[in-house]
Each structure stands twice: as C-alpha cells, then as structure tokens.
C-alpha cells in the first residue's frame, strides 16, 4: 500500500529541506500546505545543514526515515557525491535539488528546470517550438533552465553573460542538441531584436537590492515575453520595466511552485495541489 512505501515506521511522512541559510525558505510553508490539502499525515521541516556536515546529514535521511528532502544553496552540486544514484537530467545539469529515499537507496533529481518550463508553458506560452530565447546568466540556475528549454525544440537559445567565457562554455555543452550561442551581455544587445523570450537567471534585482537590473531597460524589446527566476520581490525592476514595454511578464514564483510540485509528486505519488501551494506562498510573501 501507499502507507508502507511513504510513511516511515514513525507513522508520519517525513520531508524537509537542507540549506545554509535556511530560515527564510518558503518550502516548508508550501509543502505543509500541500500535505494538509492532500490529507497525508506528515511534516516538512527546515534543516540547517552547514557544508562540513552535509555528508552526515545525508546519512541522517536514512537513519531518521525521511522519505525525501530538497537541497538548496549551497549544497546542490556537492550533495551528488553522497547519493547512490543521480538521475540522468540531474547529472547533465550537474545539480540535485530533490532526494528520494527508497528503503535506504537515495536518488537525486533536479526539478528546477522542468518546474520552470512547466510554469512558463502554463502561465505565458503553451509551446516553445520555434521560438528564440535569450537567457541572461550562465551560473547554476541557468544550467537547469537551459537543459529544460533545449528539450522544447526552440529555434535558438542565446546565453548572454557578464563573463563571456562562461556563456560560451555552457553553450558548448549543448551545441550538439540545439542551436545555442554563448556571448557577453554587451555583444548580445544587437541580437535582442530577434528574440521572443528574455529570461533573467541571475540574482540581480533580488531582495533587498530591488533597484538593480541585469540589463539597461531601454534594451528590452517591445511586446515580447520577459521572465525572471526571482520571486522575491514578485515583480523585480526587470519585470516592471518590461511591463512598461508592453511585454507579457512571468515571475519566478511559478518555477518555485512547480519545482516543489514535482518533488511532492515524486515523494508521495499524489498529484500536487498547485493552487493551494501557490496561495500559501503568496500569503507568506505578503505577510
Ligand atoms: P546561481 O546558481 O544563482 O546561478 P552562480 O552560479 O553564482 O549563481 O551564477 C550567477 C550568475 O549571475 C552568473 O552568470 C553571474 O555572471 P558572471 O558569470 O559574470 O559572474 C551572474 N551575475 C551575478 N551578479 C551579477 C551582476 N551584478 N551583474 C551581472 N551578472 C551577474
């Protein structure tokens, strides 16, 4: 039965998130709301894990009978060496954000990229086939997004980064699958005329630096889709400027919800209650 698989012998489904820092994470609020809504008996707790205690903490998953955990900054890359299996997409991305415990066998997944694309498709554009997409940034967040975007058969992906070499390296990794170009943000400006979707994957503009913006706003094209991975604030300056240019905007909240939804579905085998999860996070952002 589901009970035998998902509920530890303590009688409760144990879930959590490991990070450093962790106290500001919205994941516990979101997942506990999902547990209540689906009627599952369990709890999702914040776990403050310092880098030098990560290995012990991962062993603790099995020792304590946790069904699964999310891992966040700064553990997403490092954690892979402590798992029994890493699924193919997480291996290609080079980062794990979700761990599943099957009777002591730990498998790592990455739900960030697929969560982002699911949210983009449900909220702003149902089909990415044939579109030209510019991604600003070439760090860890960009990697998962580019992996998931490339699977949607866009016409072209342009990675624009402050440091051109990092954009070029990342583009090279995917060039056998996709028409993909890595260039400096400066060099990318003339190409902005051709794009349908512009995505910020950097942390520029995140709370508390809300007046920062990853590119000079007058370069944002009129009427395209503009997306930001940041969800605090819900509308970054980048998105506010895009709205002024009649763009359709997409905030990082959707990515956060759907990366959690995929994780919840892996752990519980139960469809994630998306609306409840979104409402719980929105309420806590306002409060
Ligand atoms: P994350 O996992 O959040 O992506 P990261 O791997 O450190 O974090 O990557 C941060 C990304 O944001 C990089 O693309 C970085 O550009 P560089 O490669 O040039 O460092 C970009 N970034 C961070 N701060 C920036 C800033 N102030 N202006 C422009 N780009 C910035």
Q: What does the DSSP 8-state code read for residue 124?
A: T
Q: Which residues contact 183 (CB under 8 A, 6 or more apart)?
A: 158, 159, 160, 161, 164, 167, 168, 191
Residues noted as catalytic: 76
Q: Are residues 23 and 120 in the same domain?
A: no
Q: What does the DSSP 8-state code read for residue 273?
A: -
Question: Which residues line the annotated binding site?
Answer: 25-27, 72, 88, 97, 112, 137-141, 161-166, 229, 231, 252, 259
Å from CA of 203 to ligand 1 middle: 7
Q: Are residues 211 and 118 in the same domain?
A: yes
Q: Are residues 102 and 219 in the same domain?
A: no
| Residue 63, token pair as written in the block | 């020792």
Could you tell me if 251 and 235 are in contact, meaning their C-beta atoms sit under 8 angstroms apart? Answer: yes
Residues with CB under 6 A from ligand 1: 137-142, 161-163, 166, 201-204, 214
Q: Are residues 223 and 272 in the same domain?
A: no
C-alpha torsion sign, points 265, 270, 271, 276: negative
Q: Which residues contact 3 (CB under 8 A, 6 or more apart)?
A: none
Give the domain extent around 73. Answer: 2-110+255-286
Structure pTM? 0.93
Q: Are residues 30 and 128 in the same domain?
A: no
Question: How do residues 70-122 score in pLDDT, each as one tens digit?
Answer: 999 999 999 999 999 999 999 999 999 999 999 999 999 999 999 999 999 99
Angstrom distance (rounded) from CA 124 to CA 239: 14
User: CATH number for the domain including 7?
Assistant: 3.40.50.10860
Q: Are residues 135 and 241 in the same domain?
A: yes
Could you tell me if 132 and 194 are in contact, meaning their C-beta atoms sit under 8 angstroms apart? Answer: yes
Å from CA of 252 to ligand 1 middle: 16
Residue nearest to atom 2 of ligand 1 (CA): 140
Q: Which residues contact 109 (CB under 8 A, 6 or more apart)?
A: 87, 89, 90, 96, 97, 98, 99, 100, 262, 263, 266
Residue nearest to atom 28 of ligand 1 (CA): 214
> For the chain, what is the mean pLDDT?
95
Q: Are residues 97 and 215 in the same domain?
A: no
Distance of CA 232 to CAs 79, 112, 252, Å?
A: 26, 17, 8
Å from CA of 141 to ligand 1 middle: 9
Assess: ipTM above 0.95.
yes
Q: Are residues 74 and 89 in the same domain?
A: yes
| Residue 193, token pair as written in the block | 């005329």
Q: Are residues 149 and 62 in the same domain?
A: no
User: CATH number for the domain including 204?
Assistant: 3.40.50.720
Tokens 């752990």 belong to residue: 267
Å from CA of 106 to ligand 1 middle: 30
Tokens 């903490």 belong to residue: 57
Residue nearest to atom 16 of ligand 1 (CA): 162
Q: Are residues 196 and 230 in the same domain?
A: yes
pLDDT tens for the 287 residues of the chain, in order = 444 456 777 789 999 999 999 999 999 999 999 999 999 999 999 999 999 999 999 999 999 999 999 999 999 999 999 999 999 999 999 999 999 999 999 999 999 999 999 999 999 999 999 999 999 999 999 999 999 999 999 999 999 999 999 999 999 999 988 999 999 999 999 999 999 999 999 999 999 999 999 999 999 999 999 999 999 999 999 999 999 999 999 999 999 999 999 999 999 999 999 999 999 999 998 87
Q: Are residues 123 and 243 in the same domain?
A: yes
Q: Are residues 141 and 205 in the same domain?
A: yes
Closest CA to 201 of 136, 120, 133, 115: 136
Domain count, the chain: 2
């Amino acid at each position: 039965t589901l009970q035998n698989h998902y509920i530890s012998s303590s009688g409760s489904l144990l879930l959590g998130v490991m990070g450093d820092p962790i106290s500001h994470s919205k994941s516990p609020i979101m997942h506990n709301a999902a547990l209540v809504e689906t009627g599952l008996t369990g709890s999702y707790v914040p776990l403050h894990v310092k880098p030098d205690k990560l290995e012990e903490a991962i062993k603790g998953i099995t020792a304590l009978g946790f069904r699964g955990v999310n891992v966040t900054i700064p553990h997403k890359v490092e954690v892979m060496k402590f798992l029994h299996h890493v699924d193919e997409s997480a291996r290609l991305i080079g980062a794990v954000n979700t761990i599943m415990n099957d009777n002591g066998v730990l498998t790592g997944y990455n739900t960030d990229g697929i969560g982002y694309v699911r949210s983009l498709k449900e909220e702003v554009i149902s089909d990415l086939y044939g579109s030209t997409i510019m991604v600003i940034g070439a760090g860890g967040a960009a990697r998962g997004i580019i992996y998931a975007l490339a699977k949607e058969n866009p016409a072209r992906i342009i990675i624009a980064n402050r440091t051109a070499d990092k954009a070029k390296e990342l583009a090279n990794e995917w060039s056998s699958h996709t028409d993909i170009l890595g260039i400096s943000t400066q060099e990318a400006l003339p190409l902005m005329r051709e794009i349908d979707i512009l995505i910020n994957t950097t942390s520029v503009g995140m709370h508390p630096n809300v007046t920062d913006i990853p590119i000079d706003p007058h370069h944002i094209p009129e009427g395209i889709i503009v997306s930001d991975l940041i969800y605090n604030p819900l509308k970054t300056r980048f998105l506010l400027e895009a709205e002024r240019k009649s763009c359709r905007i997409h905030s990082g909240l959707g990515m956060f919800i759907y990366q959690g939804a995929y994780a919840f579905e892996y752990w519980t085998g139960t469809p994630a209650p998306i609306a409840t999860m979104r409402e719980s996070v929105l309420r806590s952002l306002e409060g």
